[in-house]
Amino acid sequence: MPDLPPLARFGDRVATGLLDVTDDPAALDSTGFWAVGADFEGRLTCARFRDVRERPVPAPVPGAWRGPGPDDWTSSLDRAAYTAAVRRIREHIAAGEVYQANLCRVLSAPVPSDADVDALTALLARGNPAPYAGTIRLPGHGVEIATASPELFLRRAGRTVESGPIKGTGRTEADLLEKDYAENVMIVDLVRNDIGRVCATGTVTVPDLCAVEKHPGLVHLVSTVRGELRPGAGWPELLGAAFPPGSVTGAPKSSALRIIDALETAPRGPYCGGVGWVDADRGTGELAVGIRTFWIDRDARGGAVLRFGTGAGITWGSDPEGEWRETELKASRLLAVASGTYEVSEGT
């Protein structure tokens, strides 16, 4: 394991000087600045840092990140297995068990034992800038994450909470299908229900529905759901109601989670979980959905594996080959950045 000091970055904010680490979400309502990483399977890591300052992500240092070769990546589901799983989800939909389910696969490639996610962060900041970019480096606690997430999971300012689910992806706005709009509305209903469990009656609204957002190499449909926390509800209640994020599970969530567990062959880990920060002193925080996210897994012998997740929302209107292509589209630019084959001069 490399001798790297604990660190967290979120946008132009960097946190150092680790004070303590806990898996208790109630700590987020205490004091201090916290980096938060939540695996899709439920493992929560909250790390409180002493020093927080404004500092832009540094420029990449040549040779600091030695990523995998473009052909080194393997997928937990290959094309045949993924398209077969899409067809299986459509059977579940036809049987009335679920309306939509998010089907994901995890890509893996070996990296040198001294690999540093913060060096990868510098490359991502240039090659795939994202509104919720973040890094959590806690090698001693098994958390090494670099995300270029475009999706807001939860934002909190005092008692006001907000979520920004993404559903619908294309290279351009013209590529978005009727299925994408229907899927977005479906997930908005789910997120409204999740947030409504901890918000005061009548306060949950949808200020934006199916807005088109442009991101590097693609466009998304994004909606906004907002509410006011009821008295006595804090981070434990909010996370308990909203996790895992609705946009990366499906509707109904309980049925989708059961189907996901049966069809996916690898744990998602930080992918599709939550990554972000909480300033407990100010009552603010911002967690991204852990998509467009890399993480490093290490074994007891010092081996290191870089992982990256990609997926698509499956509805009755889904074409299996089309959904496979969507997972490829979402992954292609990010994998090129990590493998050193993407030239920033190509633009965004």
**Residue 275 covered by a domain:** yes
Distances (CA, A) of 115 to 4, 25, 249, 275: 10, 29, 31, 20
Q: What is the pLDDT of residue 110?
A: 97
Alpha-carbon distance of 119 to 325, in angstroms, equals 29
**Residue 97 covered by a domain:** yes
Q: What is the pLDDT of residue 344?
A: 56
For every residue of the chain, which 3-state class applies, written as one string? CCCCCCEEEECCEEEEEEEEEECCHHHHHCCCEEEEEECCCCCEEEEEEEEEEECCCCCCCCCCCCCCCCCCCEECCCHHHHHHHHHHHHHHHHCCCCCEEEEEEEEEEEECCCCCHHHHHHHHHHHCCCCEEEEEEEHHHCEEEEEEECCEEEEEECCEEEEECEEEEECCHHHCCHHHHHHHHHHHHHHHHHHHCCECCCCCEEEEEEEEEEECCEEEEEEEEEEEECCCCCHHHHHHHHCCCHHHCEECHHHHHHHHHHHCCCCCCCCCCEEEEEECCCCEEEEEECCCEEEEEECCCCCEEEEEEEEEEECCCCCHHHHHHHHHHHHHHHHHHHHCCCCHHHCC
Residue 257 CB-density burial (10 A; 0-12 exposed, 13-18 middle, 19+ buried): middle
Alpha-carbon distance of 34 to 232, in angstroms, equals 21
pTM of the model: 0.94
Alpha-carbon distance of 20 to 150, in angstroms, equals 29
> Which residues constitute the domain of residue 144?
7-346
Alpha-carbon distance of 159 to 151, in angstroms, equals 21
Quick check: 166 and 151 in contact, CB under 8 A? Answer: yes
Alpha-carbon distance of 46 to 58, in angstroms, equals 25
Which CATH number characterizes residue 122's domain? Answer: 3.60.120.10
Structure tokens at 248: 């990366």
**Residue 131 covered by a domain:** yes
Residues carrying an active site annotation: 151, 167
**Residue 50 covered by a domain:** yes
Q: What is the pLDDT of residue 167?
A: 87
> Is the peptide bond between 252 and the residue preceding it cis, with omega within 30 degrees of 0?
yes
Number of domains comprising the chain: 1
Distances (CA, A) of 45 to 21, 27, 123, 195: 7, 11, 25, 22
Q: What is the pLDDT of residue 346?
A: 42
Alpha-carbon distance of 72 to 152, in angstroms, equals 31
Alpha-carbon distance of 290 to 295, in angstroms, equals 10
**Residue 2 covered by a domain:** no
**How long a stretch of residues is the chain?**
348
Residue 21 CB-density burial (10 A; 0-12 exposed, 13-18 middle, 19+ buried): middle
β-pair partners for 205: 226
**Residue 133 covered by a domain:** yes
Q: What is the pLDDT of residue 348?
A: 42
What pairing do the DSSP bridges indicate for beta strands 166-170 and 205-215? unpaired
Which mean pLDDT values do the consecutive 10-residue runs of the chain (348 residues) have? Answer: 89 97 98 98 98 94 93 97 98 96 97 95 94 96 96 97 92 90 92 97 97 90 97 97 96 96 98 98 98 94 94 94 95 94 58
**Residue 119 covered by a domain:** yes
How many other C-beta atoms are found inside a 10 Å radius of the C-beta of residue 174? 7
Alpha-carbon distance of 220 to 173, in angstroms, equals 8
**Residue 308 covered by a domain:** yes
